[in-house]
Amino acid sequence: MPSALITGATAGIGAAFARRLAADGFSLVLVARDEERLTSAAESLRLRYGVEVEVLAADLTSDEGLGRVEARLRQGIDLLVNNAGFGHPGAALDVSVADELRMLKLHCEAVLRLTMAVLPGMRKRDRGAVINVASVAAFFNRGTYSASKAWVVNYSESTAAELAGTRVRVMALCPGFVRTEFHERASMDTSGIPGFLWLSADDVVREAMRDLAVGRRVSVPDLRYKVIVGAGKLVPRSLAALVSQRLGRR
């Protein structure tokens, strides 16, 4: 039975990955901070899909939490989904340095450390995959969130290139606006986002798994966002940043 470890597994895209992979017959390791929610999610998945589900409560913005997840990954995992993340409300310059550093710890350091923890075993077995959840924001300019997700895309592509010729894959997943708890937790006003731009987490995961299967290094789910990313590369970066800021937040 193949195995998968998913961070940020109790809601949104992480929970959608858990459902999809359980349906595909993966045994799961679910990682999040809230042990009660983890336990509830695990029980639901066991009952519905009949798969083994392990829970690992860990705060990935702490060295202790990262260390425990690294240790679990070194025991052997076939698919790692680095999904945990968060956003800040308001303008970038209004966010404290401490909060910005916490974001970088989760979006960059955690992705790096967990990927490096799992890859040696995958390379030895010559099979396995890592999906690093980034964002369409990676292709636009909007503060530390955008910059951190751009790092995830660059790092994923670079690592995938180094693994060329093996059966180990690394892919950055770059969804647009997805109906999850993400914006609510960040106290973001989403009233200015047009309804047609919203995606479902299950649709995002379905397209991600398809792109992983065909060997894509960057997955941008949904034709609408493929067009947006393509158009963003053609217009001046200052204009793209202005549109992004006005669309994403009031």
Structure tokens at 248: 């994403």
Residues involved in catalysis: 145
> Quick one: which of 183, 185, 86, 192 has its CA closest to 144?
86
Q: Which residue has the tokens 């800040």?
A: 88
Tokens (6 digits) for 99: 């909060």
Give the distance, in angstroms, between the CA of residue 243 and the centroid of all CA atoms in the same chain.
24
Classified as helix, coil or strand, 195 is helix
Q: What is the dihedral of CA 119, 161, 171, 117, to 10 degrees?
A: 20
Nearest to 128 by CA among 52, 206, 32, 26: 26
One-character DSSP codes across 100-166 = HHHHHIIIIIHHHHHHHHHHHHHHHHT-EEEEEE--GGGGS--HHHHHHHHHHHHHHHHHHHHTTTS
Query: Quick one: DSSP state of residue 83?
Result: -
**Dist CA 187 CA 86 (whole Å):** 11
